[in-house]
């Protein structure tokens, strides 16, 4: 018995020694086998991917089937689309590891993503095991004021009922911030995200409140003058759209060469921002000496003084004296007389820092009348106007004016006017009586309200927007013989962009007497640069009312932007137009001069925008209606500013 035990121990000892001698070989083989096994793969987008079994497979074996387990809310097909390996692919552990990363990047799953290959007689069946995140049951939004919660939740609703997904949530946050930015709230950010155990995700939004508004760069202009043009106040949510309007308003004062806005995080409150308006002032006072051409004034010279920022208070003062050559391209119904004109204006844009504005005007004119043929006209007087924008209706402003004016008229060429009456067969007594009526004047007190609606994107070179105005004026005769009268006037224009740089303008105007008969000097007049082009001044006639319409296409000069360096030149526009209008109840003088009372014309012109003055126009129009004697040859016209 002891012999057997001793022999057994001897055998075990021999085996143990042989195992020690063979260990390096077994270790080498085991290392090779491990390279063919799925082992733990860490740090895959903050997660890890593991297999359930450690087995060795031949890389040439084909994957016959792929199954996904563990998904309840995420569609299986959506998961399978993330896989580059397909049924029939060669088994490749590296490719499978990359596919597991792709599944994890979907964002719906925890780090416990596993791939389990199982050998079958026909190949490998691959099982993808996933674990979904906690499902989203809803969202809660806080901190929003300027954007409705409903609009924000619409961007998040597609995630409800699915597992929490940080990828989709980040995309939704970008959409929320873009929603704010599209509305002009460019500082809005989602600053805090948290989730409740019941699956509710909480989002806190900082919409970008303003802590302080500061002014910088001004030396002459008082701070309050700048601040009254800035509607953004401390505590407001910053709006880039409103900031742009404020900057445009500051440019409109013509006191600054540049205006900038600077936004910085507030050192006092990191959750708020400081807004700084930086300005570069320019010289606002100037003495001018110049000249130009206008159909009514002719070639003229002018001198004056202008200050757009009087005493740094934002007030405007301008005085202007003009001497002209006389009505340009006139015929025998206009007296040859050099016109003299003086005008002075004082504007206070914000009375005592309110929204009310004040304009004071004084004027004197002595010129050949383009209203009354062969008459000489003197006018002098003054006007005060108070205006205010309507807060509740954007772009709408109202005003009321009170003015005093003395109008004096006298004969300019008695022989010529007698000839005109004789051609019509009127008796001498009738001529004297009618001419006396035409030359009636007087001293008037005029009062009238008006409304203006203006959404034009650029006053100097408009390409888009509306402009509409309406007014009623009642003129009470204090002294004189022409009688009291009242007028009503309405005009509208729509600017429609065509392409990148062209504009189609459609407009209309209608006006009429409302009280009494209009004396000849106050009658409505058609023909000329400010009504129906292609006719000389007043050649369509005078009347107690009228209506007219226009269509105009404005477009840049071809290739001018490629050869011109200066914006001033690139802003010059060609114009192609169609004008038409008719008078109501023509005055007697229209019959004497065979004026038809209606007209239609087509033509083209050139528009040159001049800063601080307005667009200067040169137009040539051709009448396409029967307009009476000698008027069908067309006419040039010159004007400054918009037509109405």
Strand-pair category, 285-294 with 256-265: unpaired
CA dist 101 and 91 (Å) reads 17
Per-residue confidence (pLDDT) for residue 644, from 0 to 100: 63
What is the band of 352 on the pLDDT scale with cuts at 50, 70, 90?
Answer: confident
What would the pLDDT profile of 550-576 be if each residue is shown by its tens digit?
Answer: 999 999 988 777 777 777 778 889 999
pLDDT at 116 over 80: yes
Strand order in the sheet with 47-50: 41-44, 47-50, 112-120, 123-129, 63-69
Query: Higher confidence at residue 403 or residue 49?
Result: 403
What is the band of 640 on the pLDDT scale with cuts at 50, 70, 90?
Answer: confident
Strand-pair category, 200-206 with 138-142: parallel
CA dist 79 and 69 (Å) reads 11
What would the pLDDT profile of 615-636 be if each residue is shown by its tens digit?
Answer: 888 999 999 886 554 455 788 8
Per-residue confidence (pLDDT) for residue 371, from 0 to 100: 85
Mean pLDDT, all residues of the chain: 84
What is the band of 43 on the pLDDT scale with cuts at 50, 70, 90?
Answer: very low
**Overall residue count recorded for the chain in this entry:** 644
| Helices and strands per DSSP (H, E), number in the chain | 12, 28
What would the pLDDT profile of 240-261 be if each residue is shown by its tens digit?
Answer: 999 998 998 898 888 898 999 9
- CA geometry: angle 597, 471, 469, nearest 5 deg: 90
User: Bridge-partner residues for 616, per DSSP?
Assistant: 608, 640
Per-residue confidence (pLDDT) for residue 298, from 0 to 100: 65
Q: Tokens 């008796």 label which residue?
A: 427
């Amino acid at each position: 018995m002891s012999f057997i035990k001793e022999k057994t121990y001897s055998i075990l000892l021999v085996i143990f020694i042989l195992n020690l001698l063979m260990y390096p070989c077994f270790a080498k083989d085991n290392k090779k086998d491990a390279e063919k096994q799925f082992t733990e793969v860490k740090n895959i987008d903050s997660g890890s991917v593991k297999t359930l079994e450690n087995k060795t497979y031949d890389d040439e074996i084909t994957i016959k089937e792929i199954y996904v387990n563990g998904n309840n809310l995420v569609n299986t097909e959506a998961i399978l689309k993330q896989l580059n390996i397909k049924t029939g692919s060669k088994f490749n552990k590296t490719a499978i590891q990359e596919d597991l990363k792709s599944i994890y990047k979907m964002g719906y799953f925890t780090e416990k993503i596993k791939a389990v290959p199982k050998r079958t007689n026909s190949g490998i069946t691959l099982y993808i095991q996933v674990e979904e995140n906690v499902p989203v049951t809803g969202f809660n939004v806080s901190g929003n004021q300027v954007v409705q919660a409903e609009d924000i939740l619409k961007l998040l609703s597609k995630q409800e009922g699915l597992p929490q997904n940080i990828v989709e949530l980040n995309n939704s946050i970008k959409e929320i911030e873009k929603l704010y930015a599209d509305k002009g709230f460019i500082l809005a950010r989602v600053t805090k995200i948290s989730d409740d155990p019941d699956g509710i995700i909480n989002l806190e939004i900082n919409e970008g409140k303003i802590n302080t508004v500061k002014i910088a760069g001004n030396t002459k202009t008082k701070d309050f003058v700048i601040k009254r043009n800035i509607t953004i106040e401390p505590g407001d949510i910053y709006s880039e759209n409103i900031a742009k309007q404020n900057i445009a308003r500051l440019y409109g004062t013509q006191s600054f060469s540049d205006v900038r806005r600077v936004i910085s995080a507030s050192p006092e409150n990191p959750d708020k921002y400081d807004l700084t308006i930086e300005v570069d002032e320019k010289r606002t006072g100037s003495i001018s000496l110049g000249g130009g051409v206008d159909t009514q004034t002719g070639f003229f010279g002018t001198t004056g003084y202008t200050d757009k920022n009087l005493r740094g208070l934002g007030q405007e003062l301008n005085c202007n004296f003009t001497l002209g050559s006389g009505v340009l391209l006139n015929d025998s119904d206009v007296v040859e007389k050099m016109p003299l004109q003086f005008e002075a204006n004082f504007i206070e844009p914000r009375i005592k820092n309110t929204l009310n504005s004040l304009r004071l005007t004084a004027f004197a004119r002595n010129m050949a009348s383009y209203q009354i043929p062969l008459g000489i006209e003197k006018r002098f007087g003054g006007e005060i106007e108070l205006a205010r924008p309507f807060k509740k209706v954007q772009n709408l402003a109202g005003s009321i004016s009170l003015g005093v004016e003395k109008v004096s008229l006298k004969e300019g060429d008695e022989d010529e006017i007698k000839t005109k009456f004789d051609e019509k067969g009127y008796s001498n007594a009738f001529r004297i009586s009618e001419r006396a009526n035409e030359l009636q004047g007087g001293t008037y007190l005029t009062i009238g309200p008006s409304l203006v609606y203006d959404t034009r994107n650029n006053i100097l070179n408009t390409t888009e927007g509306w402009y509409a105005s309406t007014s009623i004026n009642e003129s009470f005769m204090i002294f004189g013989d022409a009688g009291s009268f009242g007028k009503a006037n309405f005009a509208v224009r729509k600017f429609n962009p065509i392409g990148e740089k062209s504009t189609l303008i459609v407009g209309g105007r209608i006006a009429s007497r409302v009280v009494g008969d209009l004396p000849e000097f106050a009658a409505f007049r058609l023909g000329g640069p400010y009504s129906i082009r292609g006719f000389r001044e007043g050649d369509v006639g005078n009347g107690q009312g009228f209506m007219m319409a226009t269509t105009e296409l404005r477009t840049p000069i071809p290739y001018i932007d490629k050869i011109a360096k200066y914006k001033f030149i690139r802003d010059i526009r060609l114009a192609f137009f169609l004008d038409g209008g008719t008078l109501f109840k023509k005055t007697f003088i229209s019959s004497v001069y065979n004026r038809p009372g209606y007209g239609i014309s087509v033509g083209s012109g050139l528009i040159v925008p001049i800063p601080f003055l307005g667009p200067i126009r040169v137009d040539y129009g051709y009448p396409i209606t029967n307009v009476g004697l000698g008027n069908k040859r067309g006419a040039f016209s010159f004007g400054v500013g918009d037509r109405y």
